[in-house]
């Protein structure tokens, strides 16, 4: 199975900060990497697929990059509604595996 | 508007069975693969099973293979998960999730339901 490792596991940031979350795959997954946002008590929401393709309706302050084994999710200017847990997921080979999550908290 | 509504969860003893359902609306159900993804209390996301648009391709996580069976009824716009021989480690919130495409290759999930809670305990 492909292991997905996110860092950090949590971070504290202020509104307006630039935030970067990293996801590393245990083997090359090309660009088959997706990012999700989950708020407490809510279902996950797909933000980005194929490493860098922003889903319709997702604010442009979110961006994704990377290929191979190393990927990043960047929030250019953190907004109050962005405080949530973020997960990466590989769609290269089954079983489809997720990172352990990165919780973005208010500083 | 895409809606996925899960049902069928509950408290069950180890070794017993449970059948989850997911009612889908707001999209052409039989054009897309569907999945079950679970989340144990306070934990991350774990893909459980997926089924292609025509039920021709099915996959399971190793942790549930041989115990769980996924199925769908396109005439009823419904997805199911039959869970047998349940274990304490199956305790989780089970989400139904829509795939962006018709097959279970390159799976990623563009809409999710709120989930149904399954608790396995004596």
Cα(B43)–Cα(B63) distance, integer angstroms: 16
The SS3 of residue A81 is helix
How far from B74 is each of A104, B79, B107, CA to CA, in Å? 39, 8, 19
Nearest to A44 among B50, B61, B112 (CB): B112
pLDDT of residue A12: 96
Q: How far apart are CA B25 and CA B98, in angstroms?
A: 11
How far is Cα B72 from Cα B70, in angstroms, rounded to an integer? 7
With an 8 Å Cβ cutoff, are B95 and A44 in contact?
A: yes
pLDDT at res. A33: 98
pLDDT value at residue A106: 86
Q: Are B44 and A98 in contact (CB under 8 A)?
A: yes
Write out pLDDT tens, residues A15-49: 999 999 999 999 999 999 999 999 999 999 999 99
Distance of alpha carbon A84 from alpha carbon A72, whole angstroms: 16
Is A46 in Cβ contact with B108 (below 8 Å)?
yes
> What is the C-alpha separation between B75 and B87, in angstroms, rounded?
32
Query: For position A107, what pLDDT does the model report?
Result: 85
Q: Does residue A97 belong to the interface with chain B, where contact is any CB pair within 8 Å?
A: yes
Q: B31-89, pLDDT tens digit by residue?
A: 999 999 999 998 999 999 999 999 999 999 999 999 999 999 999 999 999 999 999 99
Please report the residues numbered 35 through 54 in chain A whose beta carbons come closer than 8 angstroms to any beta carbon of chain B: 36, 42-46, 49
Average pLDDT, chain B: 97
Do B107 and A43 lie within an 8 Å CB cutoff? no
Question: Quick one: DSSP state of residue B88?
Answer: G
Tell me the C-alpha distance between B69 and A82, whole Å: 36
The alpha carbon of residue A76 is apart from the nearest alpha carbon of chain B, in Å, by 23
Q: Quick one: what percent of chain A has pLDDT higher than 90?
A: 97
**Does any CB of chain A come closer than 8 Å to the CB of residue B112?**
yes
| Average pLDDT score over chain A | 97
SS (H, E, C) B48-117: EEEECCCCCCEEECCCCCCCEEEEEEHHHCEEEEEECCCCHHHCEEEEEEEECCCCCCCCCEEEECCCEE
Q: Strand, coil or helix: what is B90?
A: helix
Task: Kindly report, residue by residue over A43-95, the tens digit of the pLDDT.
Answer: 999 999 999 999 999 999 999 999 999 999 999 999 999 999 999 999 999 99
SS3 state at B102: coil
The answer, yes or no, to whether residue B106 has pLDDT greater than 90, is no
Contacts A98 to B, Cβ<8 Å: 44-47
Confidence of residue B5 (pLDDT cuts 50, 70, 90): very high
**Pairwise CA distance, residues B74 & B23, whole Å:** 11
């Amino acid at each position: 199975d492909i292991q997905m490792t996110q860092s950090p596991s949590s971070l504290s940031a202020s509104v307006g900060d630039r935030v970067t979350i990293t996801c590393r795959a245990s083997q090359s997954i090309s660009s088959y990497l997706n990012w999700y946002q989950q708020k407490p008590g809510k279902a996950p929401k797909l933000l980005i697929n194929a490493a860098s393709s922003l889903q319709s309706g997702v604010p442009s302050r979110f961006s994704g990059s990377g290929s191979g084994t190393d990927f990043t999710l960047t929030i250019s200017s953190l907004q109050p509604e962005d405080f949530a847990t973020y997960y990466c997921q590989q769609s290269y080979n089954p079983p489809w595996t997720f990172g352990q999550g990165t919780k973005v908290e208010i500083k | 508007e895409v809606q996925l509504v899960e049902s069928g969860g509950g408290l069950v003893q180890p070794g017993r069975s449970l059948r989850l359902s997911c009612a889908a609306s707001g999209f052409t159900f039989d054009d897309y693969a569907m999945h079950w993804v679970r989340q144990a209390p306070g934990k991350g996301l774990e893909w459980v099973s997926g089924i292609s648009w025509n039920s021709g391709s099915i996959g399971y996580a190793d942790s549930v293979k041989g115990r769980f069976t996924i199925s769908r009824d396109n005439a009823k716009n419904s997805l199911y998960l039959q869970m047998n021989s349940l274990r304490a480690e199956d305790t989780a919130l089970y989400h139904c999730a829509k795939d962006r495409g018709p097959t279970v290759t390159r799976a990623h999930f563009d809409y999710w339901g709120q989930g149904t809670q399954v608790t396995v305990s004596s």
